[in-house]
Amino acid sequence: LNYIATSNHVHLLVRDTDYGAIARSMQLAAGRVAQEYNRRKSRKGAFWEDRYFATAVATDRHLIQCLVYIDLNMVRAGVVGHPSQWAVSGYNDIQSPPLRYRLIDYTALCQLTGLPGLNALSVRHRAWVEDALSKEPLERESRWTERLAVGPEDFVSKFGTNHALW
């Protein structure tokens, strides 16, 4: 549903469709990236230092907040002034969907955000990002990187004691 790739990590906002599908997909992706990199560099071993971390996000306002948080990753890092300046991100794909090789499921994203279509999604998405940018300072939020779940209490309670309510 959204993504950003940096020099040392990737943020993905994905929709879970099957128990364990995300873990299997991440294992496959990590293995393939390591194989390709190792082949090109004539080396062995893992590509990423750490295992991936997943946070369950409720499909309400928290989903929108997570979407924007991912878009602002490189702005928070001080690399760019606006997410549109980082080429490898979902921000640009939402604002100007590519004709081929789409990474974002726009239909699912519209459905989950309650928006009627891609044009409405683009307009609202831009407004959400601009609103977040106007509320500086932008800081890393541990709820997206250190919690098992983010959402209403009934949603979060399904994921155990390491939870956040926002």
Counting as low any pLDDT under 70, the low residues of the chain are: 160-166
At 106 the pLDDT is: 95
At 166 the pLDDT is: 47
At 162 the pLDDT is: 52
- The pLDDT tens digits for 10-34 are 889 998 887 778 888 888 988 898 8
pTM score, whole prediction: 0.85
Residue 86 contacts residue 80 (beta carbons within 8 Å): yes
At 156 the pLDDT is: 84
At 160 the pLDDT is: 63
At 95 the pLDDT is: 97
Where do we find the tokens 């090789």?
A: 101
- The pLDDT tens digits for 77-93 are 999 999 999 999 999 99
At 36 the pLDDT is: 93
Query: Residue 3: beta bridge partners?
Result: 12
Mapping DSSP onto H, E and C, the string for 62-128 reads HHHHHHHHHHCHHHHCCCCCCHHHCCCEHHHHHHCCCCCCCCCCHHHHHHHHCCCCHHHHHHHHHHH
